[in-house]
Chain A
Amino acid sequence: AQKVTQAQTEISVVEKEDVTLDCVYETRDTTYYLFWYKQPPSGELVFLIRRNSFDEQNEISGRYSWNFQKSTSSFNFTITASQVVDSAVYFCALSAISSGSARQLTFGSGTQLTVLP
């Protein structure tokens, strides 16, 4: 079975600080996909990034960057120069095949990020 662990339940930073959200995953599948979603107070999950297991290249998009390390089964997300609008719950998710069944998307429990002005 697959599992996603987001050990940080809540993080609070002051605006303009950098913050890293941790994500550790478990799967026996050799081909899998990793995702990050953002859930603002409005409730909608907003897709941020998708990564496949064969591509360990780090990615940067504006103030967001992602560090994928297969050796440690981690897919961490860093926000540089955080802003109040970054306040949200962030979910890491894994899409993998579990026990011969169809591919499933498994979510972590989420990290509540609060950016203070």
Chain B
Amino acid sequence: ETGVTQTPRHLVMGMTNKKSLKCEQHLGHNAMYWYKQSAKKPLELMFVYSLEERVENNSVPSRFSPECPNSSHLFLHLHTLQPEDSALYLCASSQERTDTQYFGPGTRLTVL
């Protein structure tokens, strides 16, 4: 595998379910990001991890819980989501926070 991978690519869940999104980067980068892309809206930065520590949390509801166990893996744990949370969730990584971000293919999430 090369670049940034994300699983699953598609996810449908009910409002009471708990699920997790996974991101893995094979680029040797030190920073990882979660973005939300809703229809007709710009990309929204959700979380930033640098050297496995969360350095940014942009007022994201607590029903989204990130986890970064090492510099190559990033998770987004989901629980009791709302229908308005349906979106494309994109993971990205960069060598340093100032560097170019490389994106994964995204997880298309639908909350029923």
- A103 proximity list for chain B (CB < 8 A): 97-98
Given known A95-B98, A107-B43, A109-B42, contact A102–B88 (CB-CB < 8 A): no
Residue of A nearest to B90 (CB): A45
- Which residue of B is nearest A106, CB measured? B42
State whether the Cβ of A42 lies closer than 8 Å to any Cβ in chain B. Answer: yes
Structural contact, B105 and A35, CB atoms closer than 8 A:
no
Contacts of A33 in B (CB 8 A): 98
Decide: A105 and B45 in contact? CB cutoff 8 A.
Answer: yes
Find out whether the CB atom of B104 lies under 8 angstroms from the CB atom of A50.
Answer: no
Q: Are A47 and B102 in contact (CB under 8 A)?
A: yes
Which A residues touch B66, using CB under 8 A? Answer: none
> Which residues of B lie under 8 Å from residue A105 when comparing CB positions?
45, 101
Size of the chain B interface, CB-CB below 8 angstroms = 19
Could you tell me if B97 and A44 are in contact, using CB atoms closer than 8 angstroms? Answer: no
Nearest A residue to B108, CB-CB = A43
Closest residue of B by beta carbon distance from A110: B42
B45 near A43: Cβ-Cβ < 8 Å:
no
A102–B105 contact, CB under 8 A? no
Say if the beta carbon of B100 comes within 8 Å of chain A. yes
37-68 of chain B: CB within 8 A of chain A: 41-43, 45, 55-56
A95 to B45, CA, bound (A): 13
Q: Could you name 29 residue pairs across A and B whose Cβ atoms are closer than 8 Å?
A: A33-B98, A35-B100, A37-B103, A42-B105, A43-B88, A43-B90, A43-B105, A43-B106, A44-B103, A44-B104, A44-B105, A44-B106, A45-B92, A45-B103, A46-B103, A47-B101, A91-B43, A95-B98, A102-B56, A102-B97, A103-B97, A103-B98, A104-B45, A105-B45, A105-B101, A108-B42, A109-B41, A109-B42, A110-B42
Show the binding face of A for B, using Cβ within 8 Å.
Answer: 33, 35, 37, 42-47, 50, 91, 95, 102-105, 107-110
- Extra contacts, 14 of them, besides A47-B101, A47-B102, A103-B97 (Cβ < 8 A), are A33-B98, A37-B103, A43-B105, A43-B106, A43-B108, A44-B103, A47-B100, A47-B103, A50-B100, A95-B98, A102-B56, A105-B101, A108-B42, A109-B42
